[in-house]
Structure 1
C-alpha cells in the first residue's frame, strides 16, 4: 500500500491511508462484509444461531425464514414465500443484491428438485472438473474407492519430487465429501500422507478418482417425512498400522436423510476394542447434541431421545453401567459424556448387527457387495429422475 498520487504527506512519506471501506479482494474484506451484514440482520428480526455463526432465523408467528450466509453468498428459505420476498426487498434497499431465483447451484453443490418435494444434491460438475485437472478422464472405473481391509505404511514407496498435485487433489477431494460420504474413509486415509507423499500414496488417490469416474452422477437424495434422529457409530480398532490408533466413523440421520457424518482417526491409542468403541460413542454423542441445537434454532423440536446404534455389546454395557469403571478409569472425563447423556435420557443406545452397521463404511475399506449396500442405506446414488429415465 502507498499514498495515492496527489495526497502524499511530505512530512510522513512512509505513512499510508487508512481505509474507511474494505477493498474487494483484500483479506479483511470478507470479515468487514460479514460484520456489516450481521449487524443489519437483527433489524429485520433475525436471530443468530448459537451453534452455527452463518445461520440466522426469523420467526414470525407460525412462519419461519432461514438465512444462510457464506461470505457474500446467501441462501434464503422458509415457510412463507411472501415473507421471504419481503426480506429480499428490504435487504436490497441497503445492499446491492441479485436474486438468482430457485437454488440450483451453490458453492459447487448442484440441487435438483423432484416432483414429490425431494431434493437431490450432487457435485457432478465439480467432480468432472477434478478429473480433468488430474488428467484421469479416460481411466477404467473402480467399484470401490479403496482396497478392502487394507492399510498403507507411511514410508512405503518413493517420495514425490513435486507433491503439489497430490496436495491439490486431496484438498479438492475433501470438499467432495460434502455430498459423497462413500469416499470419506478413503479421503481421510490419504490426508494422513500430506507431509511425506510417495508414489504409493498417489496410487491411493488415483483409486479414489477411478471410483469417482464410474459414479460421476451420484449424490444424496433428501426426502420429506419423519423428523426423528437416529445415528450409527462404529470403530476399526488399531486399524492404522502407522500409529496403532483406531478409526472412528459415524453418521446421523434426520428421518431417512443423512445430515452429518465423519471418518477420523482417534487422538490416542486404545487398549481394547471396547475402549475404542466407547470413545467413538462419546464423539458421536457430541455431534448429536450439536445437531439437536441446530434443529432447535430452526424451531424444529424433537421430544423423543435420539437412538444411537453400535455393534459392540461391551461398549453399550460400559456406557450405561458404572460397575465397569475400573476398566476405563484411565480415560479422560470428557469421554464419560455419553454416560451422562444416557442418564439424562437424551440418548438411547441399541445394538445392531455388524452387517447392518451403516457407519462401517466410514472406518475401513469394504468389499463391493457390502459397500454398495451401505451406499444405498445412505440414500446415495443417482437422482430419481435419472433412474426413471433409464
Structure 2
C-alpha cells in the first residue's frame, strides 16, 4: 500500500491511513442504513408490517400513518396532517431529507395519475425506455402480446447473437408487470428461455414490445370503493407441449382494485 497521488505526506511518505469503518460501497451499507432508520421509527411508535418488511405502520388512538421505504425513496401518508408534519420535522433532525410535499406523482419509475374517483398507476416512461433500449421506438404495434396457439419451445432456430440484450429486456419487462398484469403470462414465457435464447425466442419478445408500443399508457387503476376481498384462480392443466407441466395463476381484488396476482409454471 502507498499514498495516492495528490495526498502525499512529505513528512511521513511511508504512512497510510487506517480505515476503521466504511459504509458506502459495501454490501452491508443498505443493511446498516435500514437498521438505523427502522430503529428510529420503532422508537417513535411505528411497527413493522408482518406482510411487507418495507412498510411501517403507526396507529395511536385516531392517528394512522403509513411509512413505505425502498433504500432512500420514501412514501409517507396518513389521516392527520399535523402528525405527519411533526413526524417529518423529527426525521429532519435525525436524517438529511428532501421533502417533496404534496400528492404523489412518481415512485420507483411508477407514475401516479390522480382521478376524481381513483388513482391510475402506469410505467409509461419506463416502457419507453425499454423500447428505446431495444431500438423499437417507432415499431408497428400489434393488438396481442402473444400469438394464439403458438409455442416458442418447439423450435430449431439458431441461437440469438446477443443473449445479454435478451436478458436485459426480459428483466425490464418483469419489472413492468408491476402495473401490467396483462403481460405477466407472456413475460413469464420469454423469461423461461433467458439462458438459451434463440432467434425465435427474441421474435416472441419483440412481439410483446410491439404490443407495448400500442398500449404504453395502460396501467393499474385503484378505485375508491368498499374494501371487500375477492380472489380468483385458474390453471391450464398439463398445457405445456414439452414437459406437460401446468400453468396456474391467481389474482386478488380489494373492492374493484387489483392488489396482487401471479402466474407460475
Structure-2-length-normalised TM-score: 0.91
CA distance in 2, matches of 1:9, 1:105: 51
Query: What is aligned with 2:20?
Result: 18
Is this contact kept in 2: 1:166–1:197, CA < 8 A? yes
Change (3 A) 1:2 1:181: farther
| Structure 1 gap ranges (5+) | 266-390
Task: Quote how far apart the aligned CAs of 1:18 are.
Answer: 2.8
Corresponding residue SS for 1:90 = helix
CA distance in 2, matches of 1:231, 1:30: 35
CA distance in 2, matches of 1:131, 1:2: 47
Change (3 A) 1:9 1:35: farther
The superposition leaves residues 110-154 of structure 1 with CA deviations (integer Å, 9 ceiling, x where unpaired) of: 0011123x1111001111111111111111111111012332216
Q: Which has the higher contact order (CA 8 A, sep 6+)?
A: 1
The superposition leaves residues 8-37 of structure 1 with CA deviations (integer Å, 9 ceiling, x where unpaired) of: 986xx8x96231x512x4432222111110
Corresponding residue SS for 2:194 = coil
Aligned residues: 259
CA distance in 1, matches of 2:187, 2:241: 17
| Structure 2 gap ranges (5+) | none
Corresponding residue SS for 1:76 = strand
Structure with bigger strand share is 2
Structure 1 segments of 4 or more deviating over 3 A? 1-10
Query: What is aligned with 1:216?
Result: 216
The superposition leaves residues 240-282 of structure 1 with CA deviations (integer Å, 9 ceiling, x where unpaired) of: 22321110111100001000010110xxxxxxxxxxxxxxxxx
Corresponding residue SS for 1:68 = strand
Corresponding residue SS for 1:146 = coil
Task: Quote how far apart the aligned CAs of 1:80 are.
Answer: 1.4
Is this contact kept in 2: 1:64–1:79, CA < 8 A? yes
Change (3 A) 1:95 1:231: same
Query: What is aligned with 1:105?
Result: 106
Corresponding residue SS for 1:260 = strand
Is this contact kept in 2: 1:239–1:246, CA < 8 A? yes
- Please say if 1:94 is aligned against 2:98: no
Query: What is aligned with 2:73?
Result: 73
Task: Quote how far apart the aligned CAs of 1:156 are.
Answer: 3.4
Corresponding residue SS for 2:183 = helix
Is this contact kept in 1: 2:2–2:14, CA < 8 A? no
Is this contact kept in 1: 2:128–2:216, CA < 8 A? yes
Is this contact kept in 1: 2:56–2:67, CA < 8 A? yes
Change (3 A) 1:18 1:149: farther
Query: What is aligned with 1:251?
Result: 251
Task: Quote how far apart the aligned CAs of 1:109 are.
Answer: 0.3
Q: How does 1:1-390 map to 2 (within 5 A)?
A: 17-19=19-21, 21-23=22-24, 25-101=25-101, 102-116=103-117, 118-153=118-153, 156-265=156-265
Structure-1-length-normalised TM-score: 0.63
Task: Quote how far apart the aligned CAs of 1:160 are.
Answer: 1.5
Is this contact kept in 1: 2:152–2:204, CA < 8 A? no
CA distance in 1, matches of 2:38, 2:203: 45
